[in-house]
Structure 1
Amino acid sequence: MKGGRPVKPTSIALALLAATASAHADPLEGKRSSAEILAASASEDWRALDPENTLYIALERGRVVVMLSPVLAQDHVAQIKALAREGFYDGLSFYRVIDGFVAQGGDLFETRDVKTAAKTLSAEFDERAPEGLGFTALPDADGYAPEVGFAASLPTGYDAASGRAWHLHCAGAIAMARDEGRDTAGTEFYITLQPQRYLDRNLSVFGRVVEGMEHIQALRRVAPAETPEGDLGETILSVRVAADLPASARAPLEILRTDAEIFQEYAESRRNRPEAFFYRRPNHVDVCQLPIPVRRREAS
């Protein structure tokens, strides 16, 4: 009854239909999803990984591809490449794998001598931003840095007041472990399993896993053994610089350029997702939750 009179069933049905329709989220008109943006990208929006700055970590589970920084922490980049070329890591292990924290690998009991690499490194926690850093800032506020964004497609922090920059401990970051002294890093490295931003500017990040992170995540959890006879974790079969392998053995990967115009639209599509699934859009994206796409290069 409505106002003392009966209501037709069709009127009730239409009202219910209208209520149901209004309960659905609306897409953002004129905005493309991240998938649509990437599908429409041009070849110049991508860059091939530089073989001289690409590291392959071979595990029994599969191969892990690490993109090394071409702009920051260059002494650490040179160190890991020198150690790889010595074969230093071959047959060693990921001996410290802590759930939700890091997977640390190297020579736990210091059984091997360093040949061409340095025994220890000076810290590169942050450094004066070099010419050509190519920092693309995000407008979103960050709790750990005055500004965050990307340099060479790697998550990066920047302090305009001091002119200093550093790479961030997002998931997949690779850095050198150290003792309490700031200049005690040498051979032991770790890969973050989840973002560990409180470590920023306390250790030197020099790259990031761009393929095969599932192999790192699947490593058996293990604490450092007390003796060489203890559980040393899963074996590192080898670590190689991609440039030292035949072209046919390299992963033909490309990464989205964060200095390309399309990146701004891509970042916005993650900040305010336009798909109809989303009822609330925060107008914010965390730098570590903005994955930089990597794809296999098409055969020419």
Structure 2
Amino acid sequence: MNRLFSIASLAALAIATPVAAQESEQPEYPSPNAIVEAAPASDWVKIAPSDLLVMDLASDAEGNPRRVVIQLMPAPFSQGWIRNIRKLAAAHWWDGTSINRVQDNYVVQWGDAGYDNPESGETEQKALPEGLETVPESEYVISMDGFLDFILGDQQEPGAVSAEDAAMAAMEAASGAADAMANPTPVPNWGGRDSYAELVQFYWGWPTAIASDDQLFPVHCYGAVGVGRNYSPDTGSGAELYTVIGHAPRHLDRNIAVVGRIIEGMEYLSSLPRGKGDLGFYEDASKRVPIASIRLASALPAADQPRFEYLDTEAETFAKYADARANRRDPFFIVPAGGADICNIPVPVRRVMGE
């Protein structure tokens, strides 16, 4: 059975693993990368091309192409915005827009910066495609009951299980979450409390959290992609997107929609010159980085479709990897930390050859 939650077992693993012993008695511990490299093929989950958003930027000053690949968030999280994003990509709406904000240790943002109309003196922007949804703020989270209804229903996500197994997983998840909240792990490890939520865990390869009111939500880690918005009650359409390029801004959790993550090409965003205007916006329009196109990978020619897979977060390999990230015992390290923030356990993703 593909278990949907493994908080208790992985937390126990992190606690039970010895972190101090006589040097002569210490076994050799593999690094997190070595653990991932040794993972069997069965521990990797393919990402459907329809769940990948491919952003091609204008070539750099030396004529080198710059491609960024975004994996979209799976159901049941943020789906109203993701439906909008799919419509925007199908309409080629982002073609000719730009990266217009780069704020140090925070975000890179892209979308339509508009242009100044000399006749009206106003900044005009592209018209959005018809049929975009207005998504309410309530969709930033999902209740535990709603989540259990989803996994017990007809779901098409990778690793889908039978109704019987899903029912068992749901009961285990609810029981495990309740037990963990009532008996938090006594050390600050990645499977227990954190500063922004009662619990953190991985859901089908994504870092998520549970609040004290039993609300589940995706979290803002490095590389997370979110939806830009104005003041509440505006929630953004998905036309303005950003990615995190600094320390995880977890204070944004439940205040803005997380819709995906960068899985390739992050270097083309994180290395951009910082904007000098308020909030890192480029004051000089010539500094903006043009976007040539944004498409779903499934809309590209087969030979041009990037293919990726992620390490199954319910696999034993991931448990070992997470423990190694929380307790570094490979030769370089002197003192194991004894824990890790969930954002310090990035889910391994790798590119694979086309089929």
Under TM normalisation by the shorter chain, which class is it? 0.7 to 0.9
Greater C-alpha Rg: 1
Distance 1:221 1:167 in 2: 27
Distance 1:28 1:202 in 2: 45
1:96 pairs with 94, 97, 101, which one?
101
Distance 1:52 1:67 in 2: 9
Report the alpha carbon displacement of residue 30 of structure 1 after superposing the two structures with TM: 6.1
- Note the residue ranges of structure 2 that are not aligned, 5 or more in a row: 1-21, 61-65, 115-123, 152-156, 158-168, 178-189
CA contact (8 A) 1:67 1:207 kept: yes
Report the alpha carbon displacement of residue 31 of structure 1 after superposing the two structures with TM: 4.1
Q: What is aligned with 1:269?
A: 324
CA contact (8 A) 2:89 2:295 kept: yes
Report the alpha carbon displacement of residue 263 of structure 1 after superposing the two structures with TM: 1.0
Distance 1:54 1:27 in 2: 47
Aligned-partner SS, 1:44? helix
Q: Deviations over 1:4-38 (max 9, x none)?
A: xxxxxxxxxxxxxxxxxxxx967952643323322
**Segments ≥4 residues shifted beyond 6 Å:** 24-27, 133-137
Report the alpha carbon displacement of residue 40 of structure 1 after superposing the two structures with TM: 2.2
Residue 209 (str. 1) matches residue 262 (str. 2): yes
Report the alpha carbon displacement of residue 225 of structure 1 after superposing the two structures with TM: 5.5
CA contact (8 A) 1:93 1:105 kept: yes
Aligned-partner SS, 1:32? coil
Distance 1:91 1:146, change over 3 A: same
Structure 1 segment 219-238 matched on structure 2, within 5 A: 219-222=272-275, 223=277, 224=281, 230-231=285-286, 233-238=288-293
CA contact (8 A) 2:80 2:133 kept: no
Aligned-partner SS, 2:135? coil
Aligned-partner SS, 1:65? strand
Distance 1:97 1:183, change over 3 A: same
1:152 pairs with 171, 190, 204, which one?
204
Residue 122 (str. 1) matches residue 136 (str. 2): yes
Q: Which moved more, 1:140-149 or 1:92-101?
A: 140-149
Report the alpha carbon displacement of residue 230 of structure 1 after superposing the two structures with TM: 3.6
Q: What is aligned with 1:112?
A: 126
Structure 1 segment 160-199 matched on structure 2, within 5 A: 161-186=212-237, 187-194=239-246, 195-199=248-252
Report the alpha carbon displacement of residue 175 of structure 1 after superposing the two structures with TM: 0.8
TM-score (norm 2): 0.71
Q: What is aligned with 2:82?
A: 77
Report the alpha carbon displacement of residue 279 of structure 1 after superposing the two structures with TM: 1.1
Q: Deviations over 1:200-238 (max 9, x none)?
A: 111010111111111110223223357xx8446111111
User: What root-mean-square deviation, in Å, do the aligned CA atoms of Structure 1 and Structure 2 show?
Assistant: 2.5
Distance 1:117 1:225, change over 3 A: farther
- AA in 1 matched with 2:318: F
CA contact (8 A) 1:94 1:106 kept: yes
Identity %: 32
Distance 1:166 1:31 in 2: 34
- AA in 1 matched with 2:267: E
Report the alpha carbon displacement of residue 102 of structure 1 after superposing the two structures with TM: 0.6
Q: Deviations over 1:38-71 (max 9, x none)?
A: 2221112111111111101111351111111112
Distance 1:119 1:107, change over 3 A: farther
TM-score (norm 1): 0.83
Distance 1:219 1:180, change over 3 A: same
